[in-house]
Structure 1
Amino acid sequence: MNDLIRQAIAAEADERVDPRTVLANLHKAKKRKPFGLIVGVATLTVATAAAAVIVPTTIKKTDASPAAQQSATAQNVLLIGLDEVDHTDALMLARFRADGTGVTIVSLPRDVFVDGEKLNGLFRKDPKQLTAAVEKTTGAKVDHWAAVKMAGFTRISQLIGGVEVCLKAAVTDPITKAGFPAGRQSLVGDHALAFLRQRHGLPNGDLDRVKRQQAFLVGLASQITKENALELARGVNGMIVVDDGWDVLEFAQRFTGPLAISMSTLPVESEVQRETGFGFEIDPARSKEFVGKALDGGDTSGGDGCVN
């Protein structure tokens, strides 16, 4: 197994990081403790996908044993983006195909109400509460979860040399004053984080922020190569926390290069106000039907790739 890991992450460099160290932290999801800086996911649950996108793409599918490939099954992974106080600001349910060729992701707006509570406060109470609420909402079983703090995406975007996104129109965040021009652009460092966190000044607020998270993740995944995988693996080391039962190495062995990614967003009904603040109601039957079709490969996205 050590040889496999070494082959997967080895790269020409004066300073090498022991791949065993890189992946070891991904196996450790002890009782909750400070997660360290990882990308103040104040909106980028997408970023959480770093655990399931960056690491797997550093391992060649041909390195996995035939037995491991034959026994692989589709996996539903809950990708959780956390802010500085462990509120869930980004949330995605990702189904990774058994053959390792791609992933289908359904974003869940953080302010959806489930049994009177918004999704964004559940992880802080107990990760199991969040996964149970997601299963009830989507009708899909959560096999594993990975959590990341979004502040880490500042560093990740720097390591990869910028993440390309496309905006339909120029926009300025009235709170932070961060501005972004229309069209395609490469986001790096604090500018990338500002893009991921913006919701003010967008036509649909948090729902548009979800679209930005999706666009950023797709852009990030498309730029992962064999050449930059080592630096990325080093960069996410210690940033990502996964559940205790997830063998990330075994999971990673099924993948080959950048994944084909399909994105969609859980449909919401009216916005309502409760004691816990404003949030979205959902239609349980409609939600389960939508997620079922999306995870099974239905085309629910569309669009030209540009977001608000």
Structure 2
Amino acid sequence: METSPTDAPSEGADTGHDTGHDAGPDTGHDAGSTPAEPPRRRRTLRRVLIGLAACFVVLGLVLVGTAWYLQDHLVGQVDRVDDAFAGLESRPAPAQGEGLNILLMGTDRRSDEPTTGDDAKAPTWLPGEQRTDSLMVLHIDSDRQHATLVSIPRDSWVTVPGHGENKINAAFSFAGPSLAVETVEELTDLRIDHLAIIDWDGFEALTDELGGVTIDVPRTVRDSARGKTWEAGEHHMNGEEALLYVRQRYGLTGGDFDRIKRQQNFLRALMRQTLSGETMSSPTTLYGVLNSVTKHLTVDSEWTTGDMRSLVLSLRSMRARDVTFTTVPVKGTGREGKQSVVRLDRDKGRELWGAIREDRAAEWVEANGGGRPASVS
């Protein structure tokens, strides 16, 4: 069940459905076919797809959790991080059962903001040159029927092992993905099983492949930095417009909290459109979706294609309404020297992470609100 924030606009019913078929009909035939072996059957057997895999983020966020195929050259587009878990010694115990925890990190390579690092536009993720622009923990329940996506504000003031107290998004710039994983494990006491990194450009390309997404803007907001005004109401956004929407930093009454909420609302809309019957029944659209995401996706080298394939098959019945979105509980904001920081509510946070370990996050969020900020734009 998707749990929407009480202060956020209703996202509406999920109209997506699983067609229950592979990607499209096969119209090929052989002139010499016989009734004993129908041409369509022989043609289909010759076209069995070898490379089954999944594009899985953000985002992700089970963006194509019901996809049934992925060509070999698409798999080859996914970059790998070799040292995601290097040097990690004292780690939380693995989840009981089949629960899975994935650390999702995003960057905005087109941003000139210093918070994204000294070289945010670099084609690869390099320690010391980039910071995470967004950070989320995706938990997939043991039953593979539900998932929880927890956003962590990039300015959260936490313990970064070996570097004292610092903003959580600095961990990657200090020592790469392994320190980012270690920092999140220190904060959550959850064992991170896999890492996925995606640039927001990937979401722009994906949005265009889907023909745009519809997002409800609850109130009129002006983005003075880009000269853009978002009028209250529904907006059908193409990729460029959606990226402007999620990247806005100024003019939001809740600051980065509202930006997180926008990212979550965008991801909901993206999942609904991706998992809709219209998308899943179109081989051309589905291939375009996979191609767009794999070109912008990086995962840990321990996450094999076979493992991703198995995960995708186990998630084929999941829908957008089965994903709970929330934000790590916060107490408020403050300052550390010249830095503006977010103070986390550690007690509430322990409750949330404990609920995630026990596959009851949706119930906890419904009862506690998940520590979401009060303001949404």
Aligned-partner Cα distance in 1 for 2:176–2:50? 29
Aligned-partner Cα distance in 1 for 2:104–2:50? 23
Paired AA for residue 91 in structure 1: L
2:182 corresponds to 1:118? no
SS in 1 for 2:197: strand
- Counterparts in 2 of 1:171 and 1:140: CA distance versus 1, 3 Å: same
Aligned-partner Cα distance in 2 for 1:276–1:151? 31
How far the C-alpha of 1:283 sits from its partner, in A, is 3.4
- Native 8 Å contact 2:66 2:313 kept in 1: no
SS in 1 for 2:330: coil
Query: What residue number does 1:74 align with?
Result: 99
- Counterparts in 2 of 1:244 and 1:173: CA distance versus 1, 3 Å: same
Aligned-partner Cα distance in 1 for 2:182–2:226? 35
2:223 corresponds to 1:141? no
- Native 8 Å contact 1:101 1:256 kept in 2: no
SS in 2 for 1:235: helix
Query: What residue number does 1:208 align with?
Result: 258
In structure 2, which of residues 234, 242, 253 is the aligned counterpart of residue 192 of structure 1? Answer: 242
- Native 8 Å contact 1:89 1:120 kept in 2: yes
How far the C-alpha of 1:22 sits from its partner, in A, is 8.2
How far the C-alpha of 1:287 sits from its partner, in A, is 1.5
- Native 8 Å contact 1:170 1:182 kept in 2: yes
Aligned-partner Cα distance in 1 for 2:60–2:260? 19
Query: What residue number does 1:95 align with?
Result: 139
In structure 2, which of residues 343, 350, 360 is the aligned counterpart of residue 296 of structure 1? Answer: 360
SS in 2 for 1:147: strand
Equivalent runs, 1:1-308 vs 2, <5 Å? 10-11=23-24, 23=53, 48-50=57-59, 52-59=61-68, 73-84=98-109, 85=120, 86-115=130-159, 116-124=165-173, 125-224=175-274, 225=276, 226-227=280-281, 228-246=285-303, 247-257=307-317, 258-259=319-320, 260-275=322-337, 277-293=339-355, 296-297=360-361, 298-300=363-365, 307-308=376-377
Query: What residue number does 1:31 align with?
Result: none
Paired AA for residue 113 in structure 1: W
> Equivalent pairs: percent with the same residue?
28
Paired AA for residue 166 in structure 2: E
Tell me the alpha carbon deviations over residues 73-96 of structure 1, each in whole angstroms, 9 at most, x when there is no partner.
Answer: 121111111122132111111111
- Native 8 Å contact 1:10 1:230 kept in 2: no
Paired AA for residue 105 in structure 2: I
Give the root-mean-square deviation of aligned CA atoms: 3.1
Paired AA for residue 251 in structure 1: L
TM-score, normalised with respect to structure 2: 0.63
Instruction: Mark the runs of 5 or more structure 2 residues left unpaired by the alignment.
Output: 1-19, 28-47, 70-95, 110-119, 121-129, 160-164
Aligned-partner Cα distance in 1 for 2:57–2:225? 25
Tell me the alpha carbon deviations over residues 94-133 of structure 1, each in whole angstroms, 9 at most, x when there is no partner.
Answer: 1112232221111111110112111112223311111111
SS in 2 for 1:53: coil
The farther-off stretch of 274-283 and 245-254 is: 274-283
Paired AA for residue 195 in structure 1: Y
Aligned-partner Cα distance in 2 for 1:139–1:146? 19
Runs of 4+ in structure 1 over 3 Å off: 7-14, 18-24
Query: What residue number does 2:10 align with?
Result: none
SS in 2 for 1:231: helix
- Native 8 Å contact 2:100 2:141 kept in 1: yes
Q: Paired residues, what number?
A: 267
SS in 2 for 1:203: coil
- Counterparts in 2 of 1:242 and 1:8: CA distance versus 1, 3 Å: farther
- Native 8 Å contact 1:59 1:255 kept in 2: no
Instruction: Mark the runs of 5 or more structure 1 residues left unpaired by the alignment.
Output: 1-6, 27-46, 61-70
Aligned-partner Cα distance in 2 for 1:20–1:112? 43
Aligned-partner Cα distance in 1 for 2:353–2:97? 22
Tell me the alpha carbon deviations over residues 243-281 of structure 1, each in whole angstroms, 9 at most, x when there is no partner.
Answer: 111232222120124341111111222322235721112
TM-score, normalised with respect to structure 1: 0.76
- Counterparts in 2 of 1:168 and 1:130: CA distance versus 1, 3 Å: same
Tell me the alpha carbon deviations over residues 271-306 of structure 1, each in whole angstroms, 9 at most, x when there is no partner.
Answer: 222357211122333321133336623252669xx9
The structure with the largest alpha-carbon Rg is 2
Query: What residue number does 1:34 align with?
Result: none
- Native 8 Å contact 2:134 2:154 kept in 1: yes
Tell me the alpha carbon deviations over residues 200-231 of structure 1, each in whole angstroms, 9 at most, x when there is no partner.
Answer: 11111000100011111111111123134322
The farther-off stretch of 192-201 and 90-99 is: 90-99
Aligned-partner Cα distance in 1 for 2:242–2:26? 27
